Structure 1
Amino acid sequence: MKIGFIKKASAIALSLIMLGSVSNPAYAHHRLDDAMNLKDAELQTAVTDKPMLAEYLRFQVEVGVTEFWESLDLEEMDKYFINEDGSVYFRNSGEKTAEEIAKKKAFEEKFKDYINRIEEYCDKSGLKFNKNFTDGKGNFLAGSSNGDGQGTNSLSVSNCVKGDVLLLNDGGVQIWGAIMHAGIYDGTSSDLCIYSASPNAAANNNNVGVRWERLSDWRKNDQAWTLYVKNTSSSQKSYAFDYVTYYATPGEAYDWKASKSSTSKWYCSKIPWFAYKESPTGIDIDSDGGKWCWPIDIYNSTKTGLRNYYS
């Protein structure tokens, strides 16, 4: 039996137990109605506008970020070794067909053109391009949370609740979009209060994959945001957090190519997306509904609101 199926079945059982349906169906129905009753949704204290959203969306559109990522053939990507200069090689040295060579060449040209568009946009707009986009092993380093560690922000979770979404940036743009990193807040006052996933071992408790991250490490970057998911009660937000942490356990694999439905591979912004979309709340905070939910997609979503911006 596949692990994903076991997780799914167990999570359904957990949901039923939490709702009280195993022992008392009538009570469970009452609890579900209560959870979905938006009349008692918490009063939101959020700022209505999202800073720099128009600028970020302009970057996304002019550079063609979504179009580039949605066009990738993930099976072909596994065959390539990608260098920081944009050059691409085959991982295996065996003889290649003319079709394979043509596909590799087409991807390399498309990738270099994409990088050039980002550089040109940054040159004319004065934005910084965070260029560390490979892991040294030929893979995209999509979703890095470290930045250069030289920035500072005053990120606070004092007005946040369990299940709120946190975003992080290092004052520039990346190949995967205008915002670098994402996580979900556990509702405590602990420094180690952000649940996320990262390909980097540096800082943030020195773990790779699904992990807890420190508020103090997030403050070493230039920008941070705290968001809430609209039309949800505090109990729904809390349950969304519990739901994703049941599925995504610390140490599980980081993979930016992970499908949204996978319960064994994760990337940073998939954590909060999964928490709300796959839990009984059922809210999709991915603004474009593509293969991936990037941090900018969460910021751009009409279903999220801003609590605070920190720089």
Structure 2
Amino acid sequence: MNLSKLIAALVAAAVTAAIFAPATLAVPARAKSQRHRASERLEIPKDPAALAASNTDMPHDAGLPGDGSNNLQFDLFRDGDIILGFDAWTVGHAGVLDGTRNISAYTYCVWSAIKSGAACVTLEQGGKYRHYDWAFGLYVPGTTLAQRSAARRFVSYQAGEPYVLASAKTDFTRWYCSKLPWAGYKSQASRDLDSNGGYWVTPADLYNDAETRVFAAAN
């Protein structure tokens, strides 16, 4: 084969390969990081109106169902996270997520102390917190996974103990909703999540405390 025919054959082969080569998609280098960021828990600034609200009142409605609605999502909640529901900033409910259970709106995955029914520490459905005007997910930065799980275990060990709103924070035999997460982190991680250090620790105290961060919010 002379040189001109060889060149022509090589050109023809190259054109054929280009036409019939399997199509490939160029994936931008940042696509993976975007998917990763979507699953991260980004800090949400706390509402100044909530920070300004009174949080010294007795949590007189703690443990009762809400009368509002929100669309809180549960995919970013982890073991030991704190969940809050508010119909007004001085009236609310609180619990601790149990990561050993399937976390969703439809499963019993939240430990809390409830005022109705048996009036004791028990598991609640996550969806209960969608029946408030506002709902939040909190975490405590700087705590380890072991500490967060220990806080949740501490709370779960109180199952069946009575709901008594008048109980002092130092009384670990009687409970109300927001006292449970406070006691879990106080006893297992040496974190005092009561923003004003009063006799009661309210859901607003947990929200307002400088050591908690918001990663989920809905109204």
- Unaligned 5+ runs, structure 2: 1-39
Structure 1: 5+ residue runs without aligned partners? 1-43, 70-139, 202-206
1:143 aligns with 2:62: yes
Tell me which residue corresponds to 1:261. 170
Give the structure-2-normalised TM-score: 0.74
Structure holding more helix per residue: 1
CA gap 1:141/1:291 in 2 versus in 1, 3 angstroms? closer
Q: For 2:110 and 2:43, how far apart are their aligned partners in 1? A: 22
Q: CA deviation at 1:200?
A: 1.7
Partner of 1:56: 50
Asked which structure has the greater RCO (Cα within 8 Å, sep 6+), the reply is 2
**Structure 1 residue 199 corresponds to structure 2 residue 115:** yes
**CA root-mean-square deviation:** 2.1
State percent identity of aligned pairs: 32
Distance 1:257 1:199 in 2: 12
User: How many Å separate the matches in 2 of 1:299 and 1:213?
Assistant: 20
How many residues align? The count is 177
Moved over 3 A (4+): none
Question: For the residues of structure 2 that align with 1:189 and 1:264, how far apart are their CA atoms?
Answer: 28
- Secondary structure of the structure 1 residue equivalent to 2:149: helix
C-alpha spacing 1:261/1:49, structure 2 compared with 1 (3 Å): same
Q: Which residue among 194, 203, 206 is the counterpart of 1:295? A: 203
Please give the alpha-carbon distance, in whole angstroms, between the structure 2 residues aligned to 1:254 and 1:220.
21
* Distance in 2, Cα, partners of 1:147 & 1:220: 5
Query: Aligned pair 1:249/2:162, yes or no?
Result: no
Q: Does 1:227 align with 2:143?
A: no
The aligned residue for residue 12 of structure 2 is none
> Pick from 181, 184, 188: which aligns with 1:272?
181
TM-score of the superposed pair, with normalisation by structure 1: 0.53
Larger radius of gyration: 2
Mapping of 1:1-311 within 5 angstroms?
45-50=41-46, 52=47, 54-60=48-54, 66=56, 141-148=60-67, 151-170=68-87, 172-173=88-89, 177=90, 179-187=91-99, 188-190=101-103, 191-201=107-117, 207-246=118-157, 248-250=158-160, 252-279=161-188, 281-311=189-219
Cα distance in 2 for residues equivalent to 1:301 and 1:59: 13
